[in-house]
Structure 1
Amino acid sequence: MRTATLFLRSRDVPAGTLWAVPAMAAVAWLGAGPAGSRHAVTAAALALALGVAVLGHGLGGPDSTLDATAAIRWAPRRALHLIAIGTVAVAVVTVVTTVPVAVVLRDAAGFTGLAGLAAVLFGRRLTWTLPVVTGCVSAGVPAVPGPFALYLLTWAGQPADSGTALTVGVVLAVTGGAAYTARGPRRLDPVS
């Protein structure tokens, strides 16, 4: 138990949870509307992007070199950490929003994969970038079927019956999850 507590504290998980849970609940609640409406889907996507971005800060420790040299198996811990982030996000937003659970699951999986991918590409400090940018694009651009590239970029704001959005969410979850589990966060030189 002490090992798990130290791991969570080194990743700022208690502080991140303290801020992410009320923020997700507030954004999802403020955007709640008729079940499945575009406004409700957009608010749920923004809430999930915000929560995953805040919780994603813990995907790396304060010293990336120390994480890489530790004599423990990181892959199971990394995978469990991503699953926990997605689970917390789904639980909070599902309780507050009127959006179908399938949309919340799809968006949470995709945003969590994006956070993992951002940790691999940019490091711990910038894990928020890909989920927030994608959430803002999905909220700010109407979900129209054409052009197709724009339709792919707005996957998180698509309705529940969108097969394309589901495919994009699953691909992001699998790609980001696999990359983060295998490689971990990008190693950055310490700032002097």
Structure 2
Amino acid sequence: MRTAALFLRSRDVPAGTLLAVSAMAAVAWLGGGPAGSRHAVTAAALALALGVAVLGHGLGGPDSTLDATAAIRWVPRRALHLIVIGTVAVVVVTAVTTVPVAVVLRDAAGFTGLAGLAATLFGRRLAWTLPVVTGCLAAGVPAVPDPFALYLLTWAGQPADSGTAATVGVVLAVAGGAAYVARGPRPGEPI
């Protein structure tokens, strides 16, 4: 138990969880609307992006050199960490919003994969970038089918029956999750 507590504290998980849960609940509640409306879907996407971005800060430790020299198996810990981030996001937003659970699951999986990918590419301090940019894009740009590239970029704001959005969410979850689990966060400067 002590090892798990030290692991979580080294990644600022307790403070990050408190902040992420309250922020997700506030944004999803304030943006609530009729079930399945575009406004409710984009508010849920923003809430999920914000929560995953805050929780994504814990995807690496403050000293990447120390993490690299630790004689423990990182793959299961990294995978579990991503699963817990996605699960917390789904539970909080589903409890507060009227958006269908399928949309919340799709967006949480995609944003969690994006956070893992950003941590792998840019490091833990910038793990928030890809989820926040994608969430803001989905909230600010209507999900219209033309041009198709823009339609792909606004996947998080699309309705529940969008097969394209589901495909993009799954691809981002698998690709980002696999990259993070296999490689871990990009080494950075210790603080």
Q: Please give the range of the TM-score, normalised by the shorter of the 2 chains.
A: over 0.9
Q: CA deviation at 1:52?
A: 0.1
DSSP 3-state at the match of 2:54: helix
Q: Tell me whether 1:148 sits opposite 2:132 in the alignment.
A: no
5 Å-filtered alignment, 1:1-192, equals: 1-190=1-190
Counterpart Cα distance in 1 of 2:39 and 2:22? 20
Residues 94-143 of structure 1 deviation map (CA, whole Å, 9 limit, x = unaligned): 00000000000000000000000000000010000000000000000001
Residues 39-95 of structure 1 deviation map (CA, whole Å, 9 limit, x = unaligned): 000000000000000000000000011111110000000000000000000000000
Counterpart Cα distance in 1 of 2:57 and 2:189? 17
DSSP 3-state at the match of 1:161: coil
Cα RMSD over matched residues? 0.7
* Matched positions, count: 191
Contact 2:44 2:97 in 1 (8 A): yes
> Moved runs in structure 1, 4+ residues, more than 6 A?
none
DSSP 3-state at the match of 1:34: coil
Counterpart Cα distance in 1 of 2:189 and 2:26? 37
Q: CA deviation at 1:175?
A: 0.3
Amino acid at match of 1:12: D
- In the alignment, structure 1 segments of 5+ residues that lack a partner are none
Amino acid at match of 1:148: F
Contact 2:62 2:190 in 1 (8 A): no
DSSP 3-state at the match of 2:159: coil
TM-score (norm: length of structure 1): 0.98
Amino acid at match of 2:82: L
Amino acid at match of 1:65: T
Q: CA deviation at 1:18?
A: 1.0
Amino acid at match of 1:3: T
TM-score (norm: length of structure 2): 0.99
Amino acid at match of 1:63: D
Counterpart Cα distance in 1 of 2:48 and 2:31? 12
Identical aligned pairs, as a percentage?
90
Counterpart Cα distance in 1 of 2:82 and 2:99? 23
Amino acid at match of 2:17: T
